[in-house]
Amino acid sequence: MEHQIFNKFVRFIEARLSPSGEFGLHLTVGLALLLVSGAIFGDLAEDVMGKEEITVLDLQVAHWFHAHAFEPLTSFMLGVSLVHTGYGMAVLVAALGWYFWRVKARYWLLALLVAVPTGALLNVALKYYFQRARPAFDEPLVTLMTYSFPSGHTSAATVFYGLLASYLVIARPHWHVRLGTAAGCSLMVLLVALSRVYLGAHYLSDVLAAMAESVAWLAVCITAISTLRRRREGRTV
């Protein structure tokens, strides 16, 4: 009896780690990312709302960047933020969507069209749930009336570049291309996050929470659509 239970357990683990199958390795990785990033977001949210030590660090970082702002860096950071506003993201999504359509990557196109808009709605819902005020300065570089936690720009960038990196890592066979893609997309997310903190639009914890939130949501979307693709392909075999 114990031997049978052990064999079933081994087969279950092997199935979860198998790169094939609709409930294989992709589902395991997706759930792991969801749990880890969700836990990070929950810890950050709890600390921010409870005014723990991270809020002190938030103020220190915000005032340091504000005190050390200078041109042409300020204009550059404004440009980075502008590209990742609603209109800018619409252009980026349209361009990537056209590419997916052109190369017949239908499931990646579906993932893009699902993940980005719903990720934006999730971010807005979280902003209104937590209702954290933005950083305040006597002479602000930017003035915004919406809530601060989590950062919308950083969230959108994480979803977009995260999905792009996931596609290229899977679609490109060469390791140097995969590593370069992952590094480039990660740098873009960090640059967007830095621009929001530099401009005084968000606290450090806002952008960190946005990254965690969006990784969790991206894991849900990509895993769900990958499972759908594998199930449909399995039915046609």
Give, as one character, the DSSP assignment of residue 21.
S
24's tokens: 């294989």
Query: In the prediction, which pLDDT does 225 show?
Result: 78
How far apart, in whole angstroms, are the C-alpha atoms of residue 195 and residue 114?
Answer: 26
Of the pLDDT bands very low, low, confident and very high (cuts 50, 70, 90), residue 233 is: low
Higher pLDDT, 106 or 24: 106
SS3 132: coil
- Closest among 128, 123, 104 to 218, alpha carbons compared: 123
Burial (CB count within 10 angstroms: exposed 0-12, middle 13-18, buried 19+), residue 70: exposed
How far apart, in whole angstroms, are the C-alpha atoms of residue 234 and residue 237?
Answer: 5
107's tokens: 């499931």
Neighbours of 85 (CB within 10 A): 12
Q: What is the mean pLDDT of the chain?
A: 83
- Closest among 220, 206, 217 to 62, alpha carbons compared: 206
- Closest among 168, 143, 150 to 212, alpha carbons compared: 150
Query: In the prediction, which pLDDT does 170 show?
Result: 80
Of the pLDDT bands very low, low, confident and very high (cuts 50, 70, 90), residue 220 is: confident
pLDDT in tens, 160-213: 999 998 888 887 767 777 788 889 999 999 999 999 999 999 999 999 999 999
Query: In the prediction, which pLDDT does 35 show?
Result: 87
- In this prediction the pTM is 0.83
Q: Which residue range is the domain that position 56 belongs to?
A: 1-16+23-234
Query: In the prediction, which pLDDT does 30 show?
Result: 64
pLDDT above 50: residue 10: no
| Residues in CB range of 138: below 8 A, 6 or more apart | none
- Closest among 43, 65, 50 to 140, alpha carbons compared: 65
Mean pLDDT within 86-94: 93
The count of domains in the chain is 1
Query: In the prediction, which pLDDT does 229 show?
Result: 63
Of the pLDDT bands very low, low, confident and very high (cuts 50, 70, 90), residue 138 is: confident
Query: In the prediction, which pLDDT does 142 show?
Result: 86
Query: In the prediction, which pLDDT does 214 show?
Result: 92
- Residues carrying an active site annotation: 153, 202
How far apart, in whole angstroms, are the C-alpha atoms of residue 158 and residue 155?
Answer: 5
Q: Are 98 and 126 in contact (CB under 8 A)?
A: no
Query: In the prediction, which pLDDT does 31 show?
Result: 78
177's tokens: 């291309």
pLDDT above 50: residue 2: no
Residue type at position 57:
L
pLDDT in tens, 103-113: 888 888 988 99
pLDDT above 50: residue 21: no
The single residue listed with the structure tokens 């239908």 is 106
Q: What is the CA radius of gyration of the chain?
A: 20
Query: In the prediction, which pLDDT does 11 show?
Result: 43
pLDDT above 90: residue 32: no
Mean pLDDT within 44-61: 89
